[in-house]
């Protein structure tokens, strides 16, 4: 019998696995070294330059977005194949974009993040193909897609192939619309055609001072129009969150911005085939809202903050307002009632008396469509004196834009509840999800006034001759106003005709809504068979 082998070296030699310079262990070590190089990025100097601008790196952003240790990267070793203009000598791994998936609050989320340290995050052919792949994976898996944008637009050296890459992104944004939640987080510049992808997504987040969006930059604007303006003045976070309405949310720093993205994801379903996540309800459904009896004045001309009403009704007073600084005369918010997510649309009497205008109509219409796409029930809270009158509103298309909100409500199949607090006048009453356009339930407070117009205006029209011929026109006008209110604007007029399901005690609002939403949770409604509608534009 031969001698018994001992020792690791002898065993490895006998099994034919002795280490060598080109063996599996060496190659695996080489792989780990390469991965570490890719993870670190192009250079320490590039990372320091990114931090000096007050910006995080792409991987630092992904670490903030996703649950710790959950990220799985796709194609980290991808390189471009472009030639000319010096590109053949510069082929960094990742090609300037990091793509993959992980979890947020334990649920799968796909993401891609531009790496500004590599080609300024500019999009080339390989860069675009990586984004296309992760978008296709998100659609196939039925999970949200979050883009962390910090790029300089198309890679000029790659010409039309870079532009074609954007086309592929836009096509996938459109295909995913209403299928999976799409969230764009703007963390740097976004110029030219690159701005259209965020515009196609469901939500846009921006960070003040560091993120901008525009089709043509300040230099081009000055060359063409002679107007001088800074990048932030042209397309910064405050501009797009308060003036243009392009951005839904704006924050002072990347950390708070990305944390709010995580919170938004906790309120959304994974896709259009699922319901939003439900949490344990530890705020009693039957909690009374006695504060509302004093918070909302009975006098329709006195303003109040509708946000205070919402805080009183929803779980723990917590809600996420969408487009908080744009079209402030209407509030759109996501919240929970009895642990279930609900979409709230409410007039804001503190801003333009809560009237509907062009921007408010567009804001609310898009929100209604988003909620309907992702199975989020709608509660519409009315205190609306009508549409905003004016030459500018008419010439700018208030009819066309107001019809967008009407179309969105009429097309929505999710549970829909209308709550009338005070005024509900004219076409605005109809448009704000009245029973006549398909609301499942309509409730009103005893302070409600539902009419074609306010009593003063109505009396002036109906009783014009009586008022003009009276010995004392002012007394006659007051008498006729009182008469009109008593006949057509008392709080039970609509309820007597079945247009309001019940007049409720304001202090019971939370309980009434919670029970109604629970009943409607199994609602099923089909739309007519069609390719798609043709909504007003």
Pairing of strands 212-214, 203-207: unpaired
Q: Return the closest-CA partner of residue 92 out of 82, 75, 78.
A: 78
Is 427 one of the annotated active-site residues of the chain? Answer: yes
Are the C-beta atoms of 431 and 405 separated by less than 8 Å? yes
Q: How many CB atoms lie within 10 A of CB 125?
A: 18
Which helix or strand (DSSP H or E) is residue 471 part of? Answer: none
Buried/exposed code over 31-68 (b: 16+ C-beta within 10 A; e: otherwise): eeeeeeebeebbeeebbeebeeeebbbbbbbbbbbbee
Question: Which residue out of 124, 193, 236, 386 is catalytically annotated?
Answer: 193
Q: What are the beta bridge partners of residue 420?
A: 382, 444
* Contact residues for 338 (Cβ-Cβ < 8 A; gap 6+): 281, 283, 285, 315, 514, 517, 518
Whether 47 contacts 117, CB under 8 Å: yes
Gyration radius from the chain CA atoms: 29
Catalytic site residue from 120, 339, 427, 438: 427
Structure tokens at 465: 């001759």
Residue pointed to by tokens 């509660």: 379
Token pair in block for residue 308: 């205070």
- Cβ-based neighbours of 251, under 8 Å, separated by 6 or more: 205, 206, 207, 208, 237, 257, 260
For 180, counting Cβ atoms within 10 Å of its Cβ (0-12 exposed, 13-18 middle, 19+ buried), the class is buried
Please answer whether residues 238 and 250 qualify as being in contact, where contact means their C-beta atoms are separated by less than 8 angstroms: yes
Active-site entry in 154, 194, 428, 439: 428
Q: Is 390 a catalytic residue?
A: no
Residue 270 CA from chain centroid, whole number: 15
428 is catalytic: yes
Among residues 120, 159, 168, 192, the one annotated as catalytic is: 192
**Which has the closest alpha carbon to 406: 443, 362, 444, 374?**
362
**The token pair that represents 56 in the structure block:** 């995080």
Contact 510, 337 (CB under 8 A): yes
HEC profile of 241-277: HHHHCCCCEEECCHHHHHHHHHHHHCCCCCCCCCCCC
Told to judge if 54 belongs to the known catalytic residues of this protein, a careful annotator would answer no
Residue spans of alpha helices (H) in 278-329: 292-295, 306-313
Active site residues: 192-193, 427-428
């Amino acid at each position: 019998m031969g001698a018994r082998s001992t020792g690791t070296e002898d065993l490895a030699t006998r099994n034919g696995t002795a280490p060598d310079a080109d063996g599996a262990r060496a190659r695996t070590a080489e792989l780990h070294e390469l991965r570490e190089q890719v993870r670190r990025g192009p250079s320490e100097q590039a990372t320091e330059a990114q931090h000096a601008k007050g910006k995080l790196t792409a991987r630092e952003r992904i670490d903030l977005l996703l649950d710790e240790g959950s990220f799985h990267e796709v194609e980290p070793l991808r390189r471009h194949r472009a030639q000319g203009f010096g590109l053949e000598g510069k082929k960094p791994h990742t090609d300037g974009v990091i793509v993959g998936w992980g979890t947020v609050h334990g649920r799968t989320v796909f993401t891609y993040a531009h790496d500004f340290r590599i080609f300024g995050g500019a999009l080339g052919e390989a860069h675009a193909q990586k984004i296309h792949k992760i978008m296709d994976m998100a659609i196939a898996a039925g999970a949200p897609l979050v883009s962390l944008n910090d790029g300089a637009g198309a890679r000029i050296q790659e010409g039309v192939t870079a532009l074609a890459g954007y086309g592929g992104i836009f096509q996938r944004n459109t295909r995913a619309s209403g299928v999976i939640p799409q969230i764009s987080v703007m963390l740097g510049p976004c110029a030219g055609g690159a701005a259209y992808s965020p515009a196609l997504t469901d939500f846009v987040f921006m960070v003040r001072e560091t993120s901008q969006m525009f089709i043509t930059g300040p230099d081009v604007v000055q060359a063409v129009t002679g107007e001088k303006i800074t990048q932030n003045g042209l397309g910064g976070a405050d501009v797009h969150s308060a003036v243009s309405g392009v951005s839904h949310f704006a924050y002072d720093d990347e950390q708070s911005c990305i944390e709010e993205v995580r919170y938004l994801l906790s309120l959304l379903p994974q896709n259009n085939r699922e319901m939003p996540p439900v949490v344990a309800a530890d705020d009693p459904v039957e909690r009374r809202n006695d504060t509302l009896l004093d918070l909302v004045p009975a006098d329709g001309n006195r303003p109040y903050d509708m946000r205070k009403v919402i805080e009183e009704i929803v779980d723990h007073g917590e809600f996420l307002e969408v487009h908080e600084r744009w079209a402030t005369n209407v509030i759109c918010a996501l919240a929970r009632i009895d642990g279930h997510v609900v979409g709230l649309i409410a007039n804001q009497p503190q801003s333009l008396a809560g009237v509907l205008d062009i921007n408010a109509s567009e804001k609310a219409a898009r929100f209604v469509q988003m909620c309907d796409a992702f199975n989020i029930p709608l509660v519409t809270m009315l205190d609306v004196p009508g549409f905003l009158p004016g030459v500018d509103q008419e010439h700018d298309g208030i009819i066309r834009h107001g019809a967008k909100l009407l179309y969105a409500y009429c097309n929505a199949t999710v549970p829909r509840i209308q709550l009338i607090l005070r005024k509900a006048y004219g076409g605005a009453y109809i448009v704000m999800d009245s029973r006549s356009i398909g609301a499942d339930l309509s409730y009103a407070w005893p302070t409600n006034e539902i009419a074609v117009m306010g009593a003063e205006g109505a009396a002036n029209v109906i009783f014009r001759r009586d008022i003009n011929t009276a010995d004392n026109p002012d007394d006659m006008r007051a008498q006729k106003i009182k008469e009109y209110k008593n006949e057509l604007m008392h709080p039970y007029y609509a309820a007597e005709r079945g247009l309001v399901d019940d007049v409720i005690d304001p202090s019971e609002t939370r309980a009434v809504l919670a029970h109604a939403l629970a009943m409607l949770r199994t609602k099923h409604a089909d739309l007519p068979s069609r390719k798609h509608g043709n909504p007003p534009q």
